[in-house]
Chains A and B, each alone.
Chain A
C-alpha cells in the first residue's frame, strides 16, 4: 500500500489558466437554487466543473436531499444517471471515499452532481428508496470499494465472485501480479490450494 501523505495539502493552482477558469465557471442551476432554499443547511460545499454544479452533501442528509431533488416540482431530477464511488486517498487522504451521484432531469434538461464523503468502513444511507435503479450501482460501489450502504435491500457483490475478498478499484489494489489469493477458485474441498496456477 502506498504511503499517503496527509499533511501536505494539495497546492492551489499557481497561475489562473483561462481555460481552467472557464471550466470552473459557475453555471445557473434552478435545481441548485431550489435545493439551497429548501435544504440549504445540508449543503456543505458547491463547486462547478464543465457547467455542472457539484454539491457536497452531509452524509446523513443525502436521502433527504435526493428525495427533494427528485420530487420537487422545480428540479425534477427523475433520473439517477449514475452512482459510483471514488477512492480519494491520493487526492485528499481522509475521509477516504466519495460517493458520487449524477442526477439528470429529463424534462428540465439539467444535471447536477451530488457528493458524499465517507471514511473507510463507514456507511452511507442507501438511496434505493428514492430511485430503485440505485440498487445495482450501490452494490457495485460496495463491490469495488467496500463502501457499505445502510438500508440497501440486497448488498452483495455484483461483478466480482461472492468469495472474492478484496475491493479492486481501491487505489491500493494492484493492477497486476498474483501475490495474493483473493479467494478465486477456492472451493471448500481444496483448502490446500493457494492459487489457481498450481
Chain B
C-alpha cells in the first residue's frame, strides 16, 4: 500500500466511518438518555421493556422507523420534499470534519493518525458556514409539504436560525481573538499553552460568551425552550408534520447530531477540548493527561476522548435538564430576545474581550 493512498484515502475514510458510526451510536443512546433523565426528573421510570432497563428501546424505535411505510403525500413538491431530509442531515454530519476530539496521535505504518479528520485554518468559519446551511433543510421541508402548519414552522425556523446565528458568531469572535487562530485544534492548543480554559481566561472570563453561545446553540438546534419550529402544541409537528418513517428519522437524527455538535463546540471553545479537568492544580496535569502512559500517543488520545466526552455530556445534560424545566417561548418573544438582547450583548462582549486583550498585553 503506497503511503499516499494510506494518507489521503484509507485513513480519512476510516476516520469518517468511525466518526459517523460513533455519532449514530451516541445519538441512539442520547435519545434513551433524554428519556431516562426526563423520566427521572418527572418521577417516572422511562422505557424499561426493550432490553435491560430499556437499553435497546431506541434501537427498536429506529428499526420501527426504518421499516415503516414511507409515505409521500400527493400534494407535495416531490423533489424538494425528498431532498429536505438529506439537506438537513448533511451539514450536521459535515460539521464534524473539523472537530478535534482528542489530542495525541499514533502511527499506522508511516502515517500519523490524529483524532480529527482535518485541521483547516478556517475551521471556525467553516463550522459557522456549514451549520447555517441546515436551515435550508427546514425551509425546504416546510415549503415542499404544501401544508399550512409545516409552512409556518419553516418560516419560524428560517427567522429563528438567521437571528441566532449572529449572537452565535459574535460569541465565537471573541474566542477567535483570544486564540489568534480559527483552527479548532489551534484553539485547544492555545488554551493548553495558556494553562487555563477560555472560560476562565483572565482578566475577562468568557462566561458571558459561553452563555451566549450555549443559548444561541439551543435556539439553533430548535430545542426547548426555543423549539418553536416544531412546537407540537401549536404547529402539530412544525416543518416535519408531513414526514413519516425514514424521512422523519432523518430530521430526528439531524436534531440530535446538532445537539452533539453544540456540545462538542462548547467543549472545544470554552472548556479546553480534550484537556483534563485539573481544578487549576498544576501537578495534576501530567497524570490526568494520559491514563495509559505505556501506550504513548494512543493512550493520550484515549484519555483525551474521556475528558472530551465528559464535557460534551455535561452540555448535553444541561440540554435535557432545560427541556424538563422550561416552558416554551413565543415566537415574537424569541425574536425580540435574539435581536434586542443577545446581539447587543454579543457586540458588547466582543468589545470587552478586545479591551481585555489590550490590557493583558500592557
Given a CB threshold of 8 Å, the question of whether A touches B is answered with no
